[in-house]
Structure 1
Amino acid sequence: MAKDIEVGGDGSEFHAKDYHDPPPSPLIDAEELTKWSFYRAIIAEFIATLLFLYITVLTVIGYKSQTDPAKNADACGGVGILGIAWAFGGMIFILVYCTAGISGGHINPAVTFGLFLARKVSLVRAVLYVAAQCLGAICGCGLVKAFQKAYYNRYGGGANELADGYSKGTGLGAEIIGTFVLVYTVFSATDPKRNARDSHVPVLAPLPIGFSVFMVHLATIPVTGTGINPARSFGAAVIYNQDKAWDDQWIFWVGPLIGAAIAAFYHQYILRASAAKALGSFRSNSNI
């Protein structure tokens, strides 16, 4: 337990609420495998990722259909890039809100990876979460193709590909920075210290997470179509199954995983100074 002391505008001190930093999750927690809550969380991740891909890929395909020059459609019609960004950000907001109390609302292997590096989840949970997320993404895109096969193939299946005119290094950098923004927001919005100080933070956590997804999409849709979620990119590539989507697939895994790792390190060891706290605790114990 730790106590946080803050200084008011008049120089007086007051104590914020006590808070507990949760203990690190064990690397391998075999006991999880015996609990129904663990499997319920995996199912929640699967369904959430399925719904996420179903709604967002339909939005992308619908926009391309509504603005198709071959149909003499209005180039300014449809939801536009702004609408696509809102679809992705809005769905993350909804799904994180719905699943946070069950699985933590990851819906993204990069988020799971970042939380694993910070010892927020065990290796067993992280691996099965990622498997559930990837399978859910495949099923979500499969539903879109089943309902709108002609449109799905004609308009690219919502697959992430590096846009013409951009180098692979640029695409990789966009994915790294975009995922850093997302995972950094996840850490900040779920920080137990903030939860203890401000009772409204846990309720509002899905909002900044969804809004970060929205903002990143605005910036990177023209570059990579915005991945920042390996399951989203993988599921679309599996169902669309075209060479370009597979050739660029590594960008949408390597970039997000690097971005998530940097965000985990920055939040845990720079902002929260976990390494300094651990060293200070070690020195205190050695003097006893």
Structure 2
Amino acid sequence: MPMSVNAAPDTANGGADSNQTVVFIAISYGFSLLIAAWVLYRVSGGLFNPAVTLGMVITGTLPPWRGLVLFPVQIIAGMVAAAVVSVIIPVDIGVTQTRLAPGMNVAQGLFLEMFLTAHLIFTILMLAAEKSKDTFIAPIGIGISLFVVEVAGVNYTGASVNPARSFGPCIASASFPGYHWIYWLGPVLGAFVAGGFYHFIKFFNYEDANPGQDSAGKDEEEVKGTTDLENGR
């Protein structure tokens, strides 16, 4: 993030990031989450975001006790990461703070953070928490989802969608914007929106809308038939 801001070749109207800078940031965040989640999902579930943890707790896909352990760890990790970056990279860590763009009011920022977070969390719930034969490649979809979120929101709110991500740089730079609270409340509301919609489609048995969506088709049926014959069925 510091490099993308300081090395940006140009800016958009009003001093906003140029489209190439936005894409660079989005790719950086998307791929970093893709790799980190894929590497660590067997260890901790690849959870780095308190809002995602909350979304999984309220949907019952993560035990509450585990959520209580992960919440402080994720916040502390955000602070430590920002402190390390501020020490090893010769830039003001304050440039990585998530801030509202000129013309964005607090209410707009709050609701944009809410919907962007809901998009990311619902993706995680459907691809990772909801088990299927595609779950092992869930990190790819999750990384792409974050890429989309960043492209949509980075020029307006910084597209934090993660309280730990916004809190860490503020602690490291000892500076908080007056509206910093939206980067907590927005993602929390987004977790409830995503969790509520997940409960909604589960209640109405979404699988019935597209039966056999996880089937491999004729090949799978042939393998099953062969297995049944071998078992004397």
Aligned to 2:202: 272
1:186 aligned residue: 124
Change (3 A) 1:243 1:115: closer
Matching of residue 164 in structure 1 with residue 102 in structure 2: yes
Counterpart in 1 of 2:28?
87
Equivalent residue for 2:182, pick from 251, 255, 259: 251
Tell me the number of residue pairs that the alignment of Structure 1 and Structure 2 aligns: 199
* 1:118 is the counterpart of 2:51: no
Distance in 1 (alpha carbons) for counterparts of 2:173 and 2:186? 21
SS in structure 2 of the partner of residue 103 of structure 1: coil
Question: 1:233 and 1:84 mapped to 2: Cα distance?
Answer: 15
Contact residue 180 and residue 262 of structure 1 kept, 8 A? yes
Distance in 2, matches of 1:78 and 1:184, equals: 26
How has the CA–CA distance of structure 1 residues 125 and 191 changed in structure 2, closer, same or farther, with 3 Å as cutoff? Answer: closer
Which consecutive unaligned segments of at least 5 residues does structure 1 have? 1-59, 68-73, 276-288
Partner of 2:193: 262
Q: 1:210 is aligned with what amino acid?
A: G
Contact kept? 2:121, 2:191, Cα under 8 Å: yes
Question: How far is 1:191 from its partner?
Answer: 4.6
Distance 1:124 1:274, change over 3 A: farther
**Pairing 1:75–2:15 present:** no
Partner Cα distance (1:78, 1:164) in 2: 17
Residues 79-123 of structure 1: CA distance to partner in whole angstroms, max 9, x if unpaired? 611011111111110111011111111110000000110122222
| Matching residue's letter, 1:203 | F
Could you tell me the TM-score, scaled by structure 2's length?
Answer: 0.80
**Residue deviations 1:228-250 (CA, integer Å, cap 9, x gap):** 01111111111122242xx2221
In the TM superposition, what is the alpha-carbon distance from 1:274 to its structure 2 partner?
7.2
Aligned to 1:146: 87
Return the letter of the residue paired with 2:185.
Answer: V
Identity across the alignment (%): 26
Q: Is the 8 A contact 1:110 1:230 kept in 2?
A: yes
User: SS in structure 2 opposite 1:253?
Assistant: helix
Q: Secondary structure at the match of 1:86?
A: helix
Q: Distance in 2 between matches of 1:161 and 1:207?
A: 28
Which residue pairs with 2:111 in the alignment? 173
Q: Displacement of 1:265 after TM fit?
A: 1.2
Q: Does the Cα contact within 8 Å between 1:63 and 1:78 map onto a contact in 2?
A: no
Give the counterpart of 2:74 among 84, 109, 133: 133
| Contact 1:85 1:217 (8 Å CA) reproduced | yes
Match of 1:97 in 2: 38
Structure 1 counterpart of 2:171: 238
Considering Cα pairs closer than 8 Å and 6+ residues apart, tell me whether 1 or 2 has the greater RCO: 2
What's the counterpart of residue 210 of structure 1?
A: 143
Change in Cα spacing, 1:243 to 1:183, as seen in structure 2 (3 Å) is closer
